[in-house]
Structure 1
Amino acid sequence: MKPVRSLARAMLSGIFVVSGARNFVNPERLVTAAKPVTDRVTPLLERANPRIPTDTTTLIQVNSAVQVGAGLMLATGKFARPAALVLAGTLVPVTIAGHPFWNNDDPGTRNNNQIHFLKNLGLFGGLLLAAADTEGKPGLRWRTGHRIGHSRRSVQRAVRTARREARIAVRSASTARRLPG
């Protein structure tokens, strides 16, 4: 991995590791802000698996633990692309719950939440770039297309070879018939 990529990934993941650890240890400070979002997600989780805990504090801790784990994976470059996608997924509810500037009447609070909302939007964009980064290696789409093209060319070569061999066989058979025997 190139030094710039390593540094960029470590810098991008830092906020997730630090805030994830802080929120895991002290989730109670976020319960009030997160409750409207978790109340909407709870029915979906209960339908998916009734044994999943759906209380707000636990969901905050799960999200925080996922942020720490995925943040460390992104920072170390291990499974960096999936980790970036997971972090992007964890960022959506955090941003909606934590920075709903559209609900603030106070101009100062609205401005502060709008800035943090846009900051998280920028982080989301950075995570999408990290998820798309193939480190200069061909991506899955290119490799698939290349393999299909290679297979198509192999089949075409095999067809040409079979035709050529059939023509040779026909010539040999007609020559053999003409020879006195």
Structure 2
Amino acid sequence: MMSVTFKGHSQTPDSSAYSWVCLMARLCLAAVFLYSGSTKLIHWQAAISEFEGLSLPLPAVAVALTVAVQLLGGLAVALGWRVRLAALALAIFTVIATLIGHPFWNFEGPELQHQLTTMLEHLAIVGGFLLLAANGPGHLSAGRGE
């Protein structure tokens, strides 16, 4: 059985502290997707314009799919329901969206640094989702072990 150490005390996945840490991690990972999906939904035309600027085909369809993935995936992760699947889906989505939206290799100077930093931040989010997919949601979840 895996154990984690908090303040010198070993905690197993069955412990209360571990469960609360898993819940907090899920909420942190979900927050950005729930916010982004909601913002795109509320500011629909601006989101379509942004996607047109990225030269995406069928930008309205791309926005609709993006909003669905962000809101449904974010909600599933936050609640801990089907979290392994949702975490993998959001990890894949994040990789694709980052490659499309932050092509650092096309920039120079300060903009290169900005795009590269953003890409690396998104890579960290992917890492969090992969850990979540591997370890599951913890006990404070709507779908234990899913």
Render the CA deviation track for 1:117-172: whole Å, top value 9, x for unaligned. Answer: 00001101111111111449xx8xxxxxxxxxxxxxxxxxxxxxxxxxxxxxxxxx
TM-score (norm 1): 0.60
For structure 1, list consecutive stretches of 5 or more residues without a partner in the other structure.
Answer: 40-54, 140-181
Query: 1:129 is matched by which residue type in structure 2?
Result: L
Ranges of 4+ aligned residues in structure 1 off by more than 6 Å: none
The 5-angstrom pairing of residues 91-170 of structure 1 reads 91-105=94-108, 107-134=109-136, 135=138
CA 1:124–1:33: 2 relative to 1, 3 Å: farther
SS of the residue corresponding to residue 78 of structure 1 reads coil
Percent of aligned pairs with the same residue? 31
- Of Structure 1 and Structure 2, the greater strand share is in 2
Query: 1:28 is matched by which residue type in structure 2?
Result: I
The 5-angstrom pairing of residues 1-181 of structure 1 reads 2-25=19-42, 26=44, 27-35=47-55, 38-39=56-57, 55-105=58-108, 107-134=109-136, 135=138
Contact 2:29 2:128 survives alignment (8 Å):
yes
Contact 1:87 1:127 survives alignment (8 Å):
yes
Larger RCO: 1 or 2 (CA < 8 Å, sep 6+) = 2
Contact 1:24 1:65 survives alignment (8 Å):
no
TM-aligned CA deviation for residue 61 of structure 1: 2.1
TM-score (norm 2): 0.73
For structure 2, list consecutive stretches of 5 or more residues without a partner in the other structure.
Answer: 1-15, 140-144
- Of Structure 1 and Structure 2, the greater helix share is in 1
RMSD, aligned CA: 2.2
Contact 1:21 1:65 survives alignment (8 Å):
no
TM-aligned CA deviation for residue 94 of structure 1: 1.1
Matched residues, number: 120
